[in-house]
């Protein structure tokens, strides 16, 4: 009989009983001895018949069936006999449920009932406490009292009354817990030889007092007071239980003692196991004896040394780890060798900050410890590091002085410096000098190995700073610095120390006067006390000559870029303003040839023309991104007029001549129109140079579809529908956007070049990678400037999903987001109902940025039981993977 914890993943005891019986029967069926082969059927198998009687002709139809247990409905009953009576009661077959009688050859009213033909020696009765609740959509437990007697007479329920059918109670399985999805199983089993009862609770086996069944505390459940019912009175030989789940009755026999002959091989196995068990018991007893002996010795040792442990005044002493000493006092833990290495400073002596975790003991006890347990290094009265003590005193003194010095420096900075007596100091350094000084003072000596060595001699890196934060010392980059170089600058600035923010890359004074100021000599001397190795720049110090040259070159480059942008804008007016652009959908009549460039090139060129001082010039036309590795065109004429039109730009022949003069063109792509005789437009043909590559085009389309079906952690949107109407203001969709989304939208509408970091180029077209058809999707994302982000509206929530996720798992996510149980969710996408819970989102056509409509049925009444709902939604594993299903 199963005992232990019950959960939705392990099903219940009824299923375990059925699977175990089936496995046992299947295993024993392979035995040669017929008594062994049929022992399960003889002991546990009974037989009943489904009997249907026609009301018209009286014909009986029987269907024989074997059973290993009787499943009894307890709802509405108080006694076990009432449950059995209902199990055998007559059922009327009328109306639509009429029975087809073979004698009458028509459907007739009939009655149906179960007749017990034979009962097994061991009768298993299953009390159906777990039922399905239609209101909540999940199972619940019936905690109603059922009375059952120790003696059960089954003769009144048998078809044949000439046998012995008196059974005595031999086992009761209790399910403790108010939920059908959790609880604990406890078994009460009766010894057939002695008549004594035993309680099996996991590994705990308890013999009950006397020879009576005592259910006791198994009936005391922590239920709400409203659901508690009074326990009915039980007569002698009867019991009442609201947790009894399975009852096992054994057929009563006159023979009280049975002589069972155990086979010789089985006796040998039992004796062998008993010998091993006795050996194990002897080993455990010996180990316990040794442990007790060691404990006594340890106790005497602690008792003797404890009084001598404190060091007397003026007597020699040692420092020992307080953690080790606590382990030594714990008699259950054998102490390891003494280890004092964690308390040493960089000089190999006792660190003053480690004194609180050390204990000063007498030299006599220390000698005993090191002699008996070993370890080290030994720290005596001379072990305290004098250098570290002096350093700690200096740090404490400077810490106390820091606040006063900060006030002094602040006042000195207010004084205007005259003449050449001052010094240049970075403004960012002045803003954070107290924080940086505090970090240096908090540095521990043992952390020198991890120091970045830049503390102007002693400063600590960001990761090791005691204050936990490194000041941000910022340098203003040149106007033409790209975002990538800005990121590199920021990484370098995080490691700068005091006054290094005004040091140029050549190690001299930077030329930007906006980021530095002159301080007085008195203020500089105060700062030098904390940063003795900081870079020093007197007031009369000249700026870096190399930086001046570079600055002049930069100004010249800016002027050159402005002139270049002006010339290109004048030469390519139509391309810049997007006026009179040709369109493939309505081919212009004045020409039969058009040229193609990538829209990416056009966008980059327009940004440079608009802001020549901030953007790098475009030097080449990279049309290789529009071609496959074989040199063929990746787009058809039809696709270029529709979905791929955003990736290309059409160029007039005269514009193309100017483009070839201004830029380096890697590949020429041309579309030619050939008109047949007459005015029939159907006779017009369009050809491209180079021609379309069919294989790569097909591969591109497949890749696009695959990317839409194979994704991980993509965003979809679930929109809750109320009364079949979307909560959405179509007339003013901006009212449904959050403030952050509106701000993002304003960012997207800024002039090009101000909010397009993804399009910055360092070296024009040469820096941009050539794209094959495999990287086409990436190119497509970069090439479209207009935002395609989904605008979330009220009543809508974003969820992260994967393509291999099932619809049931998505419903659980929706339950957490909208508090709607999975069985109350009606989901649809683009008018298609999503109903297959086992199907994946990819197979259902759910792609990133999809919007799924959610219509909720009436919610369940008790949301306090949401944990139980969760358990219903989770897939039950049952006994999957166990030996019970191995057959």
Average pLDDT, the chain: 77
CA distance linking residue 304 with residue 321, whole number of Å: 20
Supply the pLDDT for residue 842. 86
Q: Would you say residue 395 has pLDDT above 70?
A: yes
CA distance linking residue 4 with residue 751, whole number of Å: 69
More confident residue, 854 or 332: 854
Supply the pLDDT for residue 733. 40
Question: Residue 678's CB: how many other CB atoms inside 10 A?
Answer: 8
Over residues 424-438, mean pLDDT: 87
The DSSP string of 784-850 is: --S-------TTEEEEEE-TT-BHHHHHHHHHHHH---GGGEEEEETTEEE--TTSBTTTTT--TT-
pLDDT band at 782 (very low <50, low <70, confident <90, very high): very low
> Contacts from 548-557 at CB under 8 Å and sequence distance 24+?
548/511, 551/511, 554/478, 554/480, 557/480
The residues, ordered by sequence, that sit 6+ positions from 665 with a Cβ below 8 Å of its Cβ are: 620, 621, 623, 659
- Least confident residue range of 222-231, 696-705, 788-797, 864-873: 864-873
First and final C-alpha spacing in the chain: 20
Supply the pLDDT for residue 513. 83
Please count the residues of the chain. Answer: 887
Q: Would you say residue 505 has pLDDT above 90?
A: no
pLDDT band at 82 (very low <50, low <70, confident <90, very high): very high
The residues, ordered by sequence, that sit 6+ positions from 466 with a Cβ below 8 Å of its Cβ are: 438, 439, 442, 443, 444, 460
- Least confident residue range of 29-33, 173-177, 228-232, 828-832: 228-232
Tokens of 791: 């605008």
CA 545 to chain centroid, in Å, comes to: 56
Supply the pLDDT for residue 250. 92
Contact 183, 176 (CB under 8 A): yes
Beta strands in 786-861 (DSSP E): 796-801, 825-829, 832-834, 851-856
pLDDT digits (tens, 9 = 90+) for 581-619: 777 667 777 788 888 888 888 888 888 888 888 888 888
Over residues 385-390, mean pLDDT: 85
CA distance linking residue 105 with residue 100, whole number of Å: 7
Contact 316, 364 (CB under 8 A): no
Percent of the chain at pLDDT exceeding 90: 11
Q: Would you say residue 783 has pLDDT above 50?
A: no
- Least confident residue range of 261-270, 595-604, 764-773, 824-833: 764-773
CA distance linking residue 388 with residue 346, whole number of Å: 9
More confident residue, 288 or 645: 288
Supply the pLDDT for residue 122. 92
- Least confident residue range of 2-11, 55-64, 536-545, 741-750: 741-750
Question: Residue 472's CB: how many other CB atoms inside 10 A?
Answer: 13
Q: Which residue has the tokens 């002897």?
A: 282
Q: Would you say residue 671 has pLDDT above 60?
A: yes
pLDDT digits (tens, 9 = 90+) for 408-421: 888 988 888 887 78
Supply the pLDDT for residue 81. 92
Percent of the chain at pLDDT exceeding 70: 76
Closest CA to 174 of 224, 244, 119, 77: 244
Tokens of 558: 């800016």
pLDDT band at 772 (very low <50, low <70, confident <90, very high): very low
Mark residue 881 as left, alpha or beta (left: phi above 0; alpha: psi -120 to 50; beta: remaining): left
The residues, ordered by sequence, that sit 6+ positions from 798 with a Cβ below 8 Å of its Cβ are: 715, 716, 717, 792
The residues, ordered by sequence, that sit 6+ positions from 471 with a Cβ below 8 Å of its Cβ are: 428, 431, 432, 435, 436
Over residues 674-686, mean pLDDT: 68
CA distance linking residue 366 with residue 385, whole number of Å: 20
Over residues 773-779, mean pLDDT: 38
pLDDT digits (tens, 9 = 90+) for 811-849: 999 998 888 888 889 999 988 999 888 899 988 888 888
Does residue 729 sit in helix, strand or coil? coil
pLDDT band at 255 (very low <50, low <70, confident <90, very high): low
φ, ψ of residue 111 in degrees (nearest 5): -125, 150
Supply the pLDDT for residue 590. 75
The residues, ordered by sequence, that sit 6+ positions from 30 with a Cβ below 8 Å of its Cβ are: 37
Q: Would you say residue 760 has pLDDT above 50?
A: no
Q: Would you say residue 78 has pLDDT above 80?
A: yes
Over residues 515-529, mean pLDDT: 88
Supply the pLDDT for residue 579. 62
């Amino acid at each position: 009989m199963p005992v232990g914890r019950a959960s939705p993943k392990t099903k219940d005891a009824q299923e375990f009983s059925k699977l175990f019986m089936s496995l046992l029967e299947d295993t024993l069926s392979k035995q040669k001895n017929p008594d062994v082969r049929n022992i399960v059927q003889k002991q546990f198998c009974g037989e009943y018949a489904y009997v249907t009687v026609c009301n018209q002709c009286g014909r009986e139809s029987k269907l024989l069936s074997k059973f290993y247990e009787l499943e009894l409905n307890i709802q509405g009953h108080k006694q076990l006999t009432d449950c059995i009576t209902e199990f055998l009661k007559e059922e009327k077959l009328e109306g639509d449920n009429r029975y087809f009688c073979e004698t009458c050859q028509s459907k007739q009213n009939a009655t149906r009932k179960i007749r017990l033909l034979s009962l097994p020696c061991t009768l298993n009765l299953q009390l159906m406490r777990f039922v399905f609740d239609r209101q909540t959509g999940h199972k619940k437990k019936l905690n109603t009292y059922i009375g059952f007697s120790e003696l059960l007479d089954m003769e009144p329920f048998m078809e044949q009354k000439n046998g012995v059918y008196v059974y005595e109670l031999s086992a009761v399985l209790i399910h403790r817990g108010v939920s059908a999805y959790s609880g604990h199983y406890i078994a009460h089993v009766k010894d057939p030889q002695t008549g004594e009862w035993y309680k099996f609770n996991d590994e705990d086996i308890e013999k009950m007092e006397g020879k009576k069944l005592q259910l006791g505390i198994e009936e005391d459940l922590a239920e709400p007071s409203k659901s508690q019912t009074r326990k009915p009175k039980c007569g002698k030989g009867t019991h009442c239980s609201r947790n009894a789940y399975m009852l096992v009755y054994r057929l009563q026999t006159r023979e009280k003692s049975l002589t069972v002959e155990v086979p010789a091989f089985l006796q040998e196995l039992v004796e062998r196991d008993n010998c091993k068990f006795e050996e194990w018991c002897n080993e455990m007893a010996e180990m316990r004896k040794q442990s007790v002996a060691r404990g006594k010795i340890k106790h005497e040792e602690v008792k003797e040394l404890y009084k001598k442990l404190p060091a007397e005044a003026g007597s020699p002493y040692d420092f020992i780890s307080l953690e080790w000493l606590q382990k030594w006092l714990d008699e259950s833990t054998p102490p390891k060798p003494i280890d004092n290495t964690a308390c040493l400073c960089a000089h190999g002596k006792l660190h003053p900050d480690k004194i609180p975790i050390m204990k000063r003991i007498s030299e006599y006890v220390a000698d005993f410890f090191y002699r008996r347990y070993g370890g080290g290094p030994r720290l005596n009265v001379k072990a305290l590091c004098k250098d570290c003590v002096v350093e700690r005193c200096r740090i404490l003194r400077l810490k106390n002085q820091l606040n006063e010095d900060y006030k002094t420096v602040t006042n000195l900075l207010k004084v205007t410096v005259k003449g050449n007596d001052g010094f240049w100091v970075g403004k960012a350094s002045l803003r954070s000098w107290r924080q940086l000084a505090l970090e240096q003072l908090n540095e521990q000596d043992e952390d020198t190995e991890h120091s970045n060595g830049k503390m102007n001699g002693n400063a600590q890196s960001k990761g090791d700073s005691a204050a936990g934060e490194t000041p941000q010392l910022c340098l203003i980059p040149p106007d033409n610095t790209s975002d990538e170089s800005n990121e590199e600058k920021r990484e370098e600035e995080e490691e700068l120390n005091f006054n290094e923010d005004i040091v140029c890359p050549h190690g001299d004074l930077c030329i930007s006067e906006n980021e530095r100021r002159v301080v007085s000599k008195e203020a500089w001397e105060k700062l030098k006390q904390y940063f003795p190795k900081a870079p020093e720049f007197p007031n009369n110090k000249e700026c870096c000559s190399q930086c001046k040259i570079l600055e002049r070159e930069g100004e010249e480059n800016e002027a050159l870029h402005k002139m270049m942008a002006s010339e290109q804008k004048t030469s390519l007016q139509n391309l810049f303003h997007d006026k009179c652009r040709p369109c493939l959908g309505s081919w212009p009549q004045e020409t039969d040839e058009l040229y193609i460039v990538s829209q990416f090139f056009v966008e980059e060129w327009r940004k440079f023309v608009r802001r020549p001082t901030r953007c790098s010039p475009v030097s080449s036309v990279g049309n290789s991104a529009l071609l496959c590795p074989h040199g063929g065109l990746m787009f058809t004429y039809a696709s270029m007029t529709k979905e791929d039109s955003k990736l290309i730009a059409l160029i007039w022949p005269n514009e193309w001549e100017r483009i070839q003069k201004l830029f380096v063109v890697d590949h020429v792509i041309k579309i030619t129109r050939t008109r047949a005789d007459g005015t029939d437009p159907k006779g017009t043909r369009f050809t491209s140079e180079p021609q379309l590559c069919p294989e790569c085009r097909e591969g591109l389309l497949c890749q696009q579809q695959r990317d839409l079906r194979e994704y991980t952690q993509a965003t979809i949107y679930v929109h809750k529908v109320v009364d079949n109407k979307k909560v959405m203001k179509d007339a003013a969709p901006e009212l449904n956007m959050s403030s952050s989304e509106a701000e993002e939208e304003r960012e997207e509408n800024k002039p090009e070049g101000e909010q397009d970091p993804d399009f910055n180029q360092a070296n024009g077209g040469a820096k941009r990678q050539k794209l094959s058809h495999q990287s086409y999707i990436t190119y497509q994302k970069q090439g479209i400037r207009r935002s395609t982000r989904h605008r979330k509206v009220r009543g809508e929530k974003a969820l992260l999903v994967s393509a291999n996720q099932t619809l049931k798992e998505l419903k659980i996510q929706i339950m957490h987001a909208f508090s709607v149980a999975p069985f109350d969710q009606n989901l649809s996408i683009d008018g298609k109902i999503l109903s297959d819970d086992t199907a994946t989102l990819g197979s259902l056509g759910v792609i990133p940025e999809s919007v799924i409509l959610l219509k909720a049925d009436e919610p369940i009444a008790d949301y306090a039981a949401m944990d139980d709902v969760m358990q219903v939604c989770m897939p039950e594993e049952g006994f999957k993977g166990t030996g019970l299903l191995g057959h």
